Amino acid sequence: MHLSICADDIGQDPSINEASLKLFSLGRLSQVSVLALAPFVKCAREDLLSARNNGLQIGLHLNLTLPFQAALYCQPLARLILLSQLRLLPTMAIEACILQQLQTFEDLFQITPDFIDGHQHIHQFPQIRDILIRILSERYPHHSSLWLRSTALPKFTGYLPQAWKSHTLNLLGGSQFLALLDENNIKHNAGFLGVYGFNAPTQASYQQLMQAWLLLANEGSLVMCHPANTAVANDGIGSQRWIEYQYLTSSAFGQDLEDNGITVRSSAHTASI
């Protein structure tokens, strides 16, 4: 079975960039998702493009909550959720932000994003998802390989760890976004895993979560991760990133993949444009 594993937040810190590239070199990662306006994107450009020549997918991690210096619009997550659910977000500002980040990504890498997702999953929120899909249909009308991240769960029977958070994503727009992707014939992953409260204090506890996710994965499912090769200062999940990285680079993770008959490879194409 083929499973996609994506590292988010590329560009936020050099240790995140380095960890993600290391994991790809080990065959433990298939995608990275880039914060286009983040301060450490440019320094990773050449290494990322070199890895892409060997199969890594590079996507845009659309951001509306991290206050980067160049950001045109930014809100705390709770306020963004409230405004989007009430459909009170400023349409023109959201459109400008999406276009800015797409253009910045294209200018830097000289490619179209292989895929698009959202920091804190904001790409699936009401208003934002409609604006995003409209922009993509206008900007890339003939781009048949671009796909978007669905946060809908795979079809599964079994134990889902910390299920409340996955179901919260669904309530915040996951199921509606999946229906919208299918309605517009947009490619997406076949189920989303890796959601938890960033509260696994040891490698062993994170491994237990991963083992459950691997059991639930379908062909074409995607697991997100947030590794860094050291704890990241001034980051809400900075210490958890190091724990994830230690496990993901370990022989234990390799064995867990083998035990489940899983090969890490991009396979997130379940619908066609």
> Per-residue pLDDT tens for 183-239?
999 999 999 999 999 999 999 999 999 999 999 999 999 999 999 999 999 899 999
The token pair at 79 is: 């306020």
Determine what percent of the chain is predicted with pLDDT higher than 70: 97
Question: Global pTM?
Answer: 0.94
Q: What is the CATH number of domain 2-264?
A: 3.20.20.370
Q: Is the pLDDT of residue 273 over 50?
A: no
Domain ranges of the chain: 2-264
Confidence band of 171 (pLDDT split at 50, 70, 90): confident
pLDDT bracket for residue 170 (50, 70, 90): confident
> Does residue 271 register a pLDDT over 90?
no
What pLDDT, in 10s, does the model give residues 92-103? 999 999 999 999
Q: What is the mean pLDDT of residues 102-131?
A: 97
- Using DSSP bridges, classify how beta strands 31-34 and 57-62 pair: parallel, antiparallel or unpaired: parallel
Enter the tokens of residue 220.
């074409």
Q: Mean pLDDT over all residues of the chain?
A: 94
- Burial of 99 per CB tally in 10 Å (0-12, 13-18, 19+): middle
pLDDT, average across residues 63-74: 95
Does residue 270 register a pLDDT over 90? Answer: no
pLDDT for the residue 109: 97
> Which of 116, 129, 222 is CA-nearest to residue 184?
129
Question: What tokens does 19 get?
Answer: 């960890």
**pLDDT mean over 57-72:** 96
* Mean pLDDT of the 59-80 span: 96
25: pLDDT confidence band, cut at 50, 70 and 90? very high
What is the rounded CA–CA span in Å between residue 221 and residue 262? 11
Least Cα distance to 231 among 254, 256, 198 occurs for 198
